[in-house]
């Protein structure tokens, strides 16, 4: 198994992402780092601890506390309308009794990037605050990480928190901008792909019949599906965060293109919008703007839609 860190704001689909990651058997989870997002940082930390206990990993996997607020903005509104009041549907899971380290999520990311230089995969399924703090403290973090996959952004489809922005990027656009312009080898798993990785009532029926090991996931998915139904998402819910975990192991979960991402952070109206410039084309678009051309020379992979693989079935 390869070393990985899951940086998350649990969150229902974040919880599913953790279970999926553990279930693949492909990864050696070195830390579960929480970040504020779906709920404030204190709550996502508690949720991460409780999930680590529920999935019986808390004796071996340290859980870390994320930054208390976004990089430069005021704390954002939470997403409890989708994830439940405390972030995990209707669950009240017992806290972990293991002794978790006091170091922050960003410190854990930095430490592990040194310990597993060139080997470490980082998967982020919440706002990019922790990763940006790590990069600001030590820009070489970008080059020690083997692969960085994050769920966030909406390059070619409307947003889900504003007409143009996806929640994770909107919640901390300044952090996202630090990350995509850092040179870290990233794959952005955005709404273009995740909104088409749908979990449907028939899938839920299979999960509910599967037994004790999937009971928590099934309960969480029932709540998530109801929330999407209530908010106009139809009779299905997207598996945003598990998709990012899938992409860590196998890029064929998405179709992707190489290019640069710029995050809009100056305007409140379009805050957190992700602008995608396909590789090569930017010299034409931005020929007169030395700053933009320089930023655009940093490229990553961006999802353009779902791939041929389907992990729901
Ligand atoms: C993202 O926002 C959060 O609510 C989900 O957990 C996911 O990471 C989707 O926009
Ligand atoms: Ca999330």
pLDDT of 103-160, one tens digit each? 999 999 999 999 999 999 999 999 999 999 999 999 999 999 999 999 999 999 999 9
Average pLDDT, the chain: 94
User: How many angstroms is it from 142 CA to the middle of ligand 2?
Assistant: 22
Range scoring the smallest mean pLDDT among 7-16, 69-78, 255-264 = 69-78
DSSP strand pairing (300-306 vs 254-263): antiparallel
Give the nearest ligand 1 atom to 191 CA: 10
Q: What angle do CA 93, 94, 96 make, to 5 degrees?
A: 120
Catalytic residue (one of 64, 83, 100, 240): 240
For ligand 1, what atom is nearest to the CA of residue 161? 10
What pLDDT score was predicted for residue 312?
Answer: 59
Q: How far lies 202's CA from each of 86, 222, 227, 240, 269, in Å? A: 27, 12, 17, 18, 39
Angle at 282 between CA 276 and CA 284, to 5 degrees: 140
Burial label, 111 (beta-carbon count in 10 A; 0-12, 13-18, 19+): middle
240 is catalytic: yes
Check whether 293 has a pLDDT greater than 90.
Answer: no
Q: How far is the CA of 206 from the centre of ligand 1 (A)?
A: 24
Q: Is the dihedral angle over the CA atoms 123, 128, 132, 134 positive or is it negative?
A: negative
Global pTM value: 0.96
């Amino acid at each position: 198994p390869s070393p990985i860190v899951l940086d998350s704001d649990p969150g229902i689909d974040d919880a599913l992402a953790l279970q999926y990651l553990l279930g693949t058997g492909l990864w050696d989870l070195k830390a579960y780092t929480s970040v504020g997002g779906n709920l404030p940082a204190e709550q996502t930390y508690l949720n991460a601890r409780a999930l680590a206990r529920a999935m019986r990993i808390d004796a071996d996997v340290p859980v870390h506390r994320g930054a208390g607020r976004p990089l430069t903005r005021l704390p954002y509104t939470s997403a409890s309308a989708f994830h439940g009041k405390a972030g995990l549907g209707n669950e009240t899971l017992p806290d972990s009794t293991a002794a978790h380290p006091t170091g922050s999520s960003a410190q854990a990311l930095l430490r592990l990037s040194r310990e597993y230089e060139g080997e470490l995969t980082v998967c982020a399924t919440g706002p990019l605050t922790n990763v940006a703090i790590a990069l600001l403290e030590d820009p070489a973090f970008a080059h020690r990480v083997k692969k960085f996959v994050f769920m966030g952004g909406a390059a070619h489809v409307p947003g889900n928190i504003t007409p143009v922005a996806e929640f994770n990027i909107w919640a901390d656009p300044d952090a996202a901008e630090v990350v995509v312009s850092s040179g870290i080898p990233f794959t952005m798993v955005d709404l273009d792909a995740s909104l088409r990785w749908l979990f449907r009532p028939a899938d839920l029926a299979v999960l509910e019949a599967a037994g004790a090991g999937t009971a928590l996931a099934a309960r969480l998915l029932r709540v998530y599906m109801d929330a999407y139904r209530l908010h106009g998402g139809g009779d299905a819910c997207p598996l945003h965060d598990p998709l990012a975990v899938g992409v860590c192991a196998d890029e064929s979960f998405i179709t992707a293109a190489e290019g640069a991402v710029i995050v809009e952070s100056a305007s409140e109206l379009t805050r957190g919008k992700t602008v995608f410039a396909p590789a090569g084309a930017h010299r034409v678009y931005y020929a007169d703007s030395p700053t933009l051309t320089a930023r655009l020379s940093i490229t990553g992979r961006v999802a353009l839609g779902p791939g041929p693989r389907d992990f729901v079935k």
